[in-house]
Chains A and B, each alone.
Chain A
Amino acid sequence: MTGLRLAAAENGKTAFGIGERMARSLEYLRFKAKSHNALHACETVSRIVSEQHKYRLFIEIFPKDWERSTKSLYRTGYFKAYSERTNEFFQLVNDKRFPLLEYWHDDPELELERFAIPPMNFDLCCEEVDFAHLRDSYLAGLMFYFLEDDEIWNYFFEKYGVEKESLPTINTAHPNIWKEKHGANAKPFSDLIRLVDHSTGNPWLDITNCQYPDLFEWDKETVDWLTEAYKAANQYFKNLEQLDRRIEEDAQTFFYELISFWNTGKVGPEGQS
């Protein structure tokens, strides 16, 4: 077997162009040169099954792109362990679903049998607080975690004239702030504190750079779940815009209500939840 038969059209059909058929033959010959080696055969089988799994996902998730695709099924792509077609799938996930090809995954030698996602949230564990890049509402949430740090209060005093002394003392967090359900008044504060605390239940918001990354499997359920979680994570940040507006409108009342919620699990002196 020379591999040349694979270069010819099969069953009277011309499924590929000559370039793709030659790529297929070369891939076969590379295998054939080592085909006496059982270990290499096992690796080849594993690789083909893995690639087939990605093709199936490609068809399930992006059927139109699969139909249109002209990427090679045999030539290797940027990630050398995979064909150009599988690389196209990774790119589509990155472009249409969620960030995949950045942060952890920039090494072409990498095998993406499982994958990590980049954290979207601010790290409390190892980052210096850089006020300039944070929303005011997020910064307001941080004040519960940097109690000894007057920088945050100085910032709010300079920008909005809010003084720490004019507000209730910050106590330990009331257990009710972690309740799953809150009324319309308390929910924005609950969401803010969960976001700052990395306790949202959303992997994009809860993971940090300081922990070993969670690895996700390539299956449709996981890809769909991460896609929805990514949208929800962006919505979390979008919601901060409303809190920012409330701070701009009346910072004193905002901080009063936020601290009240932290201390009592309720909003405001009337105890609205």
Chain B
Amino acid sequence: MQPDESPLELLRAESEQINPAIILADQLMRREATVLLTVEEVNETENILAIGTQEIEAIESHRKAFQKSPASAVDYVPVGF
């Protein structure tokens, strides 16, 4: 984390996407179990798993950063208050 970036700015900088493991899991669950994965597909699956796991870890680190952030006053009253 860069010292001049707040957790919010860091989160905004993240790409917007669904975790690719979710999409892959859905594809695999729809696939016939008897149609075996090729070596290339297994390699691709492992790559996606690595990306998916990395994304989970990134989100977890964002969450921890937010939890550590001190409260700060805002110059407007949020809707509902």
Contacts and interface: CB of A to CB of B under 8 A. Distances in A.
B26 A42 contact: no
Interface of A: 6, 10, 15, 24, 27-28, 31-32, 35-36, 38-42, 44-46, 48-49, 51-53, 55-56, 59, 73-74, 83, 85
A6, A28, A52, A55: which has the most chain B beta carbons within 10 Å?
A52
B24 interface: yes
Nearest to B33: A73
Nearest to A28: B29
Given A35-B25, A35-B26, A46-B49, A41 B33 contact: no
A48 B34 contact: no
Given A45-B24, A52-B37, A56-B36, A38 B29 contact: no
Contact of A73 (B34, B42, B45, B53): B34
B32 interface: yes
Contacts of B37: 49, 52
Nearest to B59: A38
A38 B49 contact: no
A44 B29 contact: yes
Given A38-B22, A41-B22, A56-B36, A6 B49 contact: no
Given A39-B56, A49-B45, A44 B25 contact: yes
Interface string B30-61: 10111011000010011011001101100100
B21 A51 contact: no
Contacts of B22: 35-36, 38, 41
A38 B33 contact: no
Contact of A52 (B19, B24, B36, B56): B36
Nearest to B45: A49
Contacts of A24: 33
Contacts of B45: 45, 49
B28 interface: yes
Contacts of A10: 32
B36 A28 contact: no
Contact of A48 (B19, B28, B46, B55): B28
Nearest to A36: B22
A48 B34 CA distance: 11
Which of A28, A39, A74 gathers the greatest number of chain B CB atoms within 10 Å? A39
Contacts of A32: 26, 29
B31 to A, nearest CB: 8
Contacts of A41: 19, 21-22, 24-26, 52
Contacts of B52: 38, 41-42, 45
Interface string B1-39: 000000000000000000101101110111011101100
A55 B24 CA distance: 20
Given A48-B25, A49-B42, 7 more contacts: A28-B29, A31-B26, A38-B19, A41-B26, A42-B53, A74-B33, A85-B33
A59 B37 CA distance: 13
Among A27, A41, A74, which residue has the most Cβ atoms of chain B within 10 A?
Answer: A41
Contacts of A49: 37, 42, 45-46
